[in-house]
Amino acid sequence: MAKSKTACIDWSRRNLEAHQTGFDGEHIAMNVLEKLGHEGIETTLHKDAMDLVTDTHVLEVKTFTDATKKDLWQISVDAEQKAKKLAFAAKHGKKPACVAVVKDGEAIIYMRDGVGKFRVPGRMKEIGRIADWKKTIGTGRKERFYVPR
């Protein structure tokens, strides 16, 4: 049975919102990491195992909004994904880490070395906040042109 036009439009809208949420999180994380002194921060290709590469780390970025953090404030990586992420880190000679960005008006950024299953912020350290991030740094992010070496 085919989906109705309304169902397809609703699905498309939710999918676009989810992608924009993730892109915003990467952009926010990049800005905070730069302010903390990380250098050479670049985004990876869309289907790569990790989202950002810095001078010392490869990072998986997870983004939550205030609306979702109450229900789903846990990061989970299954065994197959974890193996891919660790292999990506080893290939680039960098430490794997996870960054969680909780955003709405204010963005709160947490970080933890390694990848796996843990709660935010319980097992993650807050590394920065950006009040009114849309006005401070804007939405969007830098271009994606990282080429693995």
What are the boundaries of each domain within the chain?
Answer: 5-136
DSSP state of 27: H
Alpha carbon distance 10, 115 (integer Å): 32
Confidence class for position 147, pLDDT limits 50, 70, 90: very low
Residue 93 pLDDT: 95
Q: Over range 19-48, report the average pLDDT.
A: 87
38 to each of 42, 53, 55, 88, how far by Cα in Å? 11, 10, 6, 19
Name the pTM for this structure.
Answer: 0.82
Share above pLDDT 70 across residues of the chain, in percent, rounded to a whole number: 88
Q: Over range 12-19, report the average pLDDT.
A: 76
* Model pLDDT for residues 53-84, shown as the tens digit of each residue: 999 999 999 988 877 665 557 888 899 999 99
Confidence class for position 50, pLDDT limits 50, 70, 90: very high
Residue 145 pLDDT: 47
**Position 142 pLDDT exceeds 60:** no
Q: Over range 119-136, report the average pLDDT.
A: 88
31 to each of 35, 58, 88, 101, 109, how far by Cα in Å? 6, 15, 23, 12, 11
**Position 123 pLDDT exceeds 80:** yes
Tokens of 88: 């990506």
* Model pLDDT for residues 101-115, shown as the tens digit of each residue: 988 888 999 999 999
Q: Over range 1-29, report the average pLDDT.
A: 78
Q: Which CATH class is domain 5-136?
A: alpha beta
For 114, the 3-state DSSP assignment is coil
Q: Render 137-148 in DSSP notation, one character per residue.
A: T-SS--------
